[in-house]
Structure 1
Amino acid sequence: MKILITGGTGFVGRRLVPHLRHHHEVTVLSRTPAKVYQQLGHDVQALSSLNELENLDQFDAVINLAGEPIADKRWSSAQKQRICQSRWQLTEQLVEKLNAGTQAPKVLISGSAVGYYGRQGDALVDEDSSPHPEFSNKVCAQWEQLAQAAASEQTRVCCIRLAVVLGPDGGALKKMLPSYRLGLGGPIGSGKQYMSWIHIDDVVSLLLFLLEHEECSGAFNASAPEPVTNQQFSKTLAQVLNKPHFARVPAWVMRLAFGEMADLLLTGQRVMPVRLQCAGFHFRYPTLEKALKETLNP
């Protein structure tokens, strides 16, 4: 297949491309093509702008993973705008190019996040659960709606609602590890809020699964089948690192440091991957302890 990827040099993209490059022709959309060649190799093609293409008829599949990190900075008005536009604008442009041709790609797999559901307490959440209206829901709902505009008899659309992705070289875990390795890690706020998570290898596997299974379309929770509370996550991480676990980060400290963005960490969702499992997908890392051990002690 000929596959176009956005976000190919990001945390997930860097793991995905090596699984595709030996069997498919991969093109990565990036403003800096040199970065693509440096990180992914010269057998991967680079595209600096969609404006170079009239349509996407030359591709069999599109995987859309690009977006400004949502939890890296305080949510100022300008940062909220960057978070939204980095997802919405590119997705809208992709769909316009996809719909402009006569032989559209067979599948568009587009990113989203479990933030789609907003705060959910301890209720079990599946793909049909009603979301709580807040900023994270607004971002993801519009992102998915724009992607779904590509759906047709020719093109199926899959939206993956990613949980916290665990991997050794990026994402949330990379930010957490320094304090935990010093024995200073601990739960955030009450620790009772649920954390949905997924090992990065399972993210890659489910992307390949959705790429290959033509019967799959719609929204899929990209989350391991055993979500845990923040307290459980913190305790398990400390145990895997063989470090003490007595510190705690008060909610007021988080809100002082991060403002509204702190709510992402102080509230949560107990997400279940119902549609993926019904489709026959199997997780290599269904439990947190196994996922963390493989990530930290490969």
Structure 2
Amino acid sequence: MRLHSFTRSSSLSVSCEEAFQWHRRSGAFERMLPPWMTSQIISKEGTIYDGDSVTIKTNLGVIPFVFKAQHQNYIENKQFEDIQIQGPFAFFKHLHKFEKIDDKKSKITDHIEYSLPIGMLSRFLGNKFIDEKLNKMFTYRHRTLKYDLFLHSKYSKKKLKILVTGASGLVGSNLVPFLTSGGHEVIKLVRTNYKLEEDANHFAIWDSEKKEFVNPEILEDLDAVVHLAGENIAAQKWSEERKKELIDSRVHFTSAICNALIKQLKTLPKSFISASGIGIFGSRDYDDILHEESKLGSGFLANLAKDWEMASREAEKAGIRVVNLRFGTIISLSGGVLKKMYTPYRLCLGGPFGSGRQMISWISITDVLGLILFSISNNKVEGAVNAVAPHAVTNEQFSELLAQTLDRPSSLRIPELFVESLFGEMGRELLLSGQHAKPVKALKNGYEFLHSQLHDAFTYCLGV
């Protein structure tokens, strides 16, 4: 059996103990899964102690497989190891090693030894293919680890108790493991028909008919509610029925949640962080710079966002600090616009919409998580906050940068007529309109963007 090895080391801006503890917490494994790998956790037993294990369904290139690893050789604050007990390799062992640099800095080293099976799979893949995949994966993993540790050390001064609505959506599915791996207690809101497969103490159950919490007692002493629930705005064309669903899921549900918090809890949450969108400004010219106090726009999307933000005023009147995060286009390969554009661009079928001059105010998924934590922790932040990176781009620049990152051409322009005929009002407001928003309030209050340039966001999310 011929062994091959792969090693990657990175310095971290936290102590050796904090870096190690991060890996031991719930959510750490989920944070390490690259978004381009279609991975599903089948089972987890424990965390990283000897004998603990994890089983996932994933793929190696185009080949799907089940991979089960068991942990061994655990030494507190120094190392842990996992070894394949089921999977595509003849042998696979992964050592996670932690070394102290000083009291506030440390070093992590991932060392992998593997052997490919004899036969077709080995000849098809080869160790060069495996090393390329490992290099891409651990580039992403180490960047994620550095970002998460930085954000928690900068904005998490104490451990928090947080209720998250919309936990299964693009933002929520990233936010929950981000918070739990940082040591925070997270409670997810679920409907009464949800099948609880985990600890029931981490779920708040919502009765849609009565518009109240079934178990409000677990929500006492909340530091924050992060309210992300709402139907996907771009999932389908905006028929009148679909518009009603969007309004119900955002405006009416926000009002119901606020009322339930006020009426059912003895101790109100300290803050209510609610999603919103920069679509509230309507369609604007590329040179119209928008800050939080800029005049709001018109159209279905703008009116929806206005009413959405207004619904959270009920919490504000009760004395809860309210923050409305007006998200721009979120850059993440696990969902949203980038996931939809990824395959067409890889097939050389990408390009700008219409004139390409419309502005795209964007934000990386990492800074979405950072801004949420920042908004929870900073009592000076309240009201509308433009959750966008400092440097907006035109639709054409967005297209060109994505194509360059993927090493593909960006020569296919999608005409306005085609967009309107295919998507109607939704296409006009989401694809052919634009807003040039600036994160004035976030910067003024001290938030430090990890991805201020679009190229950096693409590089991280795509693993290049």
Classify the TM-score, shorter chain. over 0.9
Q: Which residue of 1 is the match for residue 434 of structure 2?
A: 268
- Structure 1 window deviating more from structure 2 (49-58 vs 192-201): it is 49-58
1:120-150 C-alpha deviation (Å, 9 max, x unpaired): 1111111111112110111110110111221
Q: Which residue of 2 is the match for residue 17 of structure 1?
A: 176
Q: SS at the partner of 1:109?
A: strand
Where is the helix percentage greater, Structure 1 or Structure 2? 1
Deviation at 1:47, TM superposition (A): 2.6
- Superposed, 1:229-248 pairs within 5 Å as 229-248=394-413
TM-score of the pair, normalised by structure 2: 0.61
Return the alpha-carbon distance in structure 2 between the equivalents of residues 227 and 193 of structure 1.
Answer: 10
Q: Which residue of 1 is the match for residue 283 of structure 2?
A: 119
Return the alpha-carbon distance in structure 2 between the equivalents of residues 254 and 10 of structure 1.
Answer: 26
Return the alpha-carbon distance in structure 1 between the equivalents of residues 201 and 172 of structure 2.
Answer: 12
Q: Which residue of 1 is the match for residue 368 of structure 2?
A: 203
Identity %: 38
Deviation at 1:58, TM superposition (A): 4.3
CA contact (8 A) 1:193 1:230 kept: yes
- Superposed, 1:117-196 pairs within 5 Å as 117-122=281-286, 123-152=288-317, 154-196=319-361
Q: SS at the partner of 1:280?
A: coil
Return the alpha-carbon distance in structure 2 between the equivalents of residues 69 and 234 of structure 1.
Answer: 23
CA contact (8 A) 2:351 2:412 kept: yes
- Structure 1 window deviating more from structure 2 (219-228 vs 46-55): it is 46-55
Deviation at 1:43, TM superposition (A): 8.5
- Structure 1 window deviating more from structure 2 (156-165 vs 99-108): it is 99-108
Q: Which residue of 2 is the match for residue 89 of structure 1?
A: 252
Q: CA RMSD in A?
A: 1.8
Indicate whether 1:6 and 2:170 are aligned: no
Indicate whether 1:108 and 2:272 are aligned: yes
Listed as ranges, the gaps of 5+ residues in structure 2 are 1-159, 207-211
Q: Which residue of 1 is the match for residue 7 of structure 2?
A: none
Q: Which residue of 1 is the match for residue 203 of structure 2?
A: 46
- Structure 1 window deviating more from structure 2 (151-160 vs 107-116): it is 151-160
1:206-257 C-alpha deviation (Å, 9 max, x unpaired): 1000111112111100001100000000000000000012101000001010
Where is the strand percentage greater, Structure 1 or Structure 2? 2
CA contact (8 A) 1:6 1:29 kept: yes
Question: Which one has more relative contact order, counting CA pairs under 8 Å at least 6 apart?
Answer: 1
TM-score of the pair, normalised by structure 1: 0.94
Which has more radius of gyration? 2
Deviation at 1:175, TM superposition (A): 0.5
Deviation at 1:262, TM superposition (A): 0.7
Number of matched residues? 294
Return the alpha-carbon distance in structure 2 between the equivalents of residues 109 and 150 of structure 1.
Answer: 10
Distance 1:94 1:153, change over 3 A: closer
In the TM superposition, structure 1's runs of 4+ consecutive aligned residues that sit over 4 Å from their partners are: 41-44, 53-56
Q: Which residue of 1 is the match for residue 443 of structure 2?
A: 277
